[in-house]
């Protein structure tokens, strides 16, 4: 039986990425050595890093004055690196989920944090309206998390603010075009829509750096990684190589505009079935706020006792990873770029069959 991988992260990757990375683990670039044992200083791996950085710039149309770095530590370390490098006195944060909340908490260690708006009052199941107008003009930057992986909300456009903009785009990077020129920093863990776990990407505006009045530890200074070409310390070579394969696949498949088209088709299909099927309901009611990457739903009130029954039935139909986050319950179908439309169709078919059975 075919398996349909809806895990939220680490998550599904293109077969192109998996096959090429597996081949390189056996023989990397014709060297006769494994990717697992090659020096990151070798010319063969330097070529991998150079091409991966160039493809990020190409696919996202990154303007001059920005650099792409690959570092370790996950998005969670970026929660600290961003204020270390940018926060002098005050920063503004939008609280729309667990990860946004954690980022805000880290920033408070470096200076004053203004909470522009929050959706915590309703378990982060909506995006606060009009938050852009509430961003103070005297802050060093405004930070938001574009996609709420746990609760299933997404901000699908670049906010229009008058201060430097920073975004955690771990879950939805490369799923739609973005205007990079609006941002000082875009970052994310790669294990959701780009690469195997272990590497983090950051797109950094160079002239936003060097303006804080504190010393920055070497490894937490973006300039260290820019100047070192992401090679100041040993990078996670396998994950960077995997990222390169996904970037090549993205380009060959039509780039971010095509990924956006596919994301709209997949998410519209699944949300339509959730809204139609009397056994289920979406956790995010406002259609504008619904994530295209992480589709969260629960059993309708009259059928809550059937939650485990549906979970087991879905598993029997090949659905993997649809259990909702432990803090929410219910179900979550992550429909990242690499997930084929046929997997969404299979989940919809399972939902309809479950409806018939009961």
Active-site residue flag, 192 = yes
Please tell me the distance from the alpha carbon of residue 203 to that of residue 67, in angstroms, as a whole number.
6
Residues 6+ apart with CB under 8 A from 152: 125, 282, 283, 284, 290, 291, 294, 295, 296, 332
Give, in order, the Cα–Cα distances in Å from 155 to each of 8, 11, 15, 168, 291.
18, 21, 29, 11, 8
Please tell me the distance from the alpha carbon of residue 314 to that of residue 332, in angstroms, as a whole number.
12
By C-alpha distance, which of 37, 72, 59, 78 is closest to 230?
72
Please tell me the distance from the alpha carbon of residue 158 to that of residue 177, in angstroms, as a whole number.
10
Active-site residue flag, 249 = no
Residue 143: enclosing H or E segment and its boundaries? Answer: strand 142-145
- Give the angle 342-170-102 at the CA atoms, nearest 5°: 130
User: Cα-flanking dihedrals φ and ψ of residue 185, to 5°?
Assistant: -145, 135
| Given the residues 140, 172, 192, 289, the one annotated as active site | 192
Q: Are 277 and 355 in contact (CB under 8 A)?
A: yes
Tokens of 242: 């995997």
Helix 15-26 / helix 237-253 crossing angle, nearest 10 deg? 140
Burial environment of residue 49 by CB neighbours within 10 A (0 to 12, 13 to 18, 19 or more): buried
User: Cα-flanking dihedrals φ and ψ of residue 232, to 5°?
Assistant: -60, -45
Active-site residue flag, 168 = yes
Please state the separation of Cα 243 from the chain's center in Å. Answer: 13
Please state the separation of Cα 90 from the chain's center in Å. Answer: 26
Please state the separation of Cα 96 from the chain's center in Å. Answer: 15
Q: Are 327 and 120 in contact (CB under 8 A)?
A: no
Please tell me the distance from the alpha carbon of residue 182 to that of residue 29, in angstroms, as a whole number.
38
Q: Are 274 and 259 in contact (CB under 8 A)?
A: no
Which residue numbers are catalytic? 99, 168, 192
């Amino acid at each position: 039986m075919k398996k349909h991988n809806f895990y939220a992260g680490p998550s599904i990757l293109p077969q192109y990425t998996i096959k090429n990375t597996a081949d390189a683990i056996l023989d990397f670039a014709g060297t006769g050595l494994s990717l697992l044992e090659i020096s990151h200083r070798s010319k063969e791996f330097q070529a991998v890093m150079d091409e991966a950085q160039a493809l990020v710039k190409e696919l996202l149309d990154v303007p001059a004055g920005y650099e792409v770095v690959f570092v370790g530590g996950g998005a969670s370390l970026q929660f600290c690196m961003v204020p270390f490098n940018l926060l002098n006195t005050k920063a503004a944060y939008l609280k729309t989920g667990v990860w946004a909340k954690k980022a805000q908490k880290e920033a408070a260690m470096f200076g004053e944090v203004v909470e522009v708006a929050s959706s915590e009052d309703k378990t982060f199941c909506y995006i606060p309206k009009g938050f852009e107008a509430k961003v103070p003009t005297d802050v060093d930057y405004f930070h938001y998390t574009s996609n709420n992986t746990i609760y299933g909300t997404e901000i699908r456009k670049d906010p229009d603010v008058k201060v430097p903009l920073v975004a955690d785009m771990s879950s939805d990077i490369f799923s739609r075009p973005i205007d990079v020129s609006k941002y000082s920093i875009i970052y994310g863990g790669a294990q959701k829509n780009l690469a195997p776990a272990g590497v983090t990407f950051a797109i950094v505006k160079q002239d936003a750096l060097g303006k804080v009045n504190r010393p920055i530890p070497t490894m937490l200074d973006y300039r260290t990684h820019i100047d070192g070409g992401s090679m100041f310390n040993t990078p996670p070579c396998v994950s960077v190589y995997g990222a390169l394969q996904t970037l090549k696949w993205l380009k060959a498949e039509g780039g971010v505009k095509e990924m956006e088209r596919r994301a709209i088709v997949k998410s519209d299909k699944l949300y339509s079935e959730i809204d139609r099927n009397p056994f289920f309901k979406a956790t995010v009611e406002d259609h504008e706020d619904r994530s295209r990457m992480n589709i969260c739903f629960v059993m309708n009130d009259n059928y809550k006792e059937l939650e485990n029954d549906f979970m087991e039935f879905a598993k029997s139909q090949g659905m993997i990873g649809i259990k909702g986050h432990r803090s929410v319950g219910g179900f979550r179908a992550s429909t990242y770029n690499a997930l084929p439309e046929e997997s969404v169709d299979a989940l919809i078919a399972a939902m309809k069959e479950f409806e018939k059975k009961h």
